[in-house]
Amino acid sequence: MRRRLVALCFALLPLLGWAAGEVALPPLGERVTDLTGSLSAADKASLTANLATLEKEKGAQLVILLLPTTQPETIEQFGIRLAEAWKIGRQGVDDGAIVIVAKDDRRMRIEVGYGLEGAIPDAIAKRIVTEQMAPKFRQGDYAGGLQAAVVTLDKVIRGEPLPAPRRSETPRGDNYSDGATLLPILVVFFMAGSIRSTFGLFGSCAVSGFAGWLAWVLFGSPGAAGIAALLAFALSFIRLGRGGWHSGGGGGFGGGGASGSW
């Protein structure tokens, strides 16, 4: 019940923001979110690959958001609100950072989690913003500015003594075949909350029906189909993760970082 109440509160955040005249927070669905159309598919893929490699090898999470404006909030106010909602970084390690670009405002910010404040003090974040991002942005080269920032952030984060990322062992033998059989339906369960958040109650019913059909195909059992359908419907009211990749879910932020303009 407590988890459902928490999920409901997060679902109401965009409505509360709208009522207060704030920009609605976009969902965290990928490492690079471009709401301005400034990045090509190739640019976005390259940035995403670099960020994914950093997370795999170091554990720290770095994400990028480009949006038109944060007004009427300042980018600092928006940044901390976004950080509190997205919770980038591992819980207890707080090794997350967010690069925010408000294109129409010509403002940018690097929001730094508690665990990375040693690696990315405000002075370093300010230099990245003013010396690497701003010159490229003035030329309209948003991909180049972001790539330069990511390269520098990658270097300083790798110099920080963080806990090693958890690595899952590859299943073998019969266990692997069982996992492969269950994988499709587990994916449906995982995405149930996101589907409901997009399509409402209709999405809950649709994902429930699909999960039941999939369980029938995989196991040939009416009981399994019924259980899968009910479970998918229930899980649709609980967001398991946020979007198409697993976030750390729990990283803390305290306003560290730096802002700038171009």
What are the pLDDT tens digits along the chain (262 aa)? 444 433 434 444 444 444 456 788 988 889 999 999 999 999 999 999 999 999 999 989 999 999 999 999 999 999 999 999 999 999 888 999 999 999 999 999 999 999 999 999 999 999 999 999 999 999 999 999 999 999 999 999 988 776 777 654 444 444 434 444 556 656 666 666 566 555 667 767 887 888 888 777 777 778 878 887 888 777 766 544 444 455 556 788 888 899 999 9
- Domain architecture of the chain: domains with CATH: 14-162 (3.10.310.50), 184-235 (no CATH)
Distance of CA 117 to the CA centre of its chain: 20
Q: How does DSSP classify residue 72?
A: T
Locate all alpha helices (DSSP H) within 128-221, ordered by sequence: 134-138, 142-158, 173-199, 201-219
Spatial separation of the C-alpha atoms in residues 244 and 230, rounded to whole Å: 23
- Sequence length of the chain is 262
Q: Is the separation of the CB atoms in 69 and 105 below 8 Å? A: yes
Burial class (CB in 10 A: 0-12, 13-18, 19+), 210: middle
Task: Quickly count: other Cβ atoms within 10 Å of residue 243's Cβ.
Answer: 18
The reported pTM is 0.64
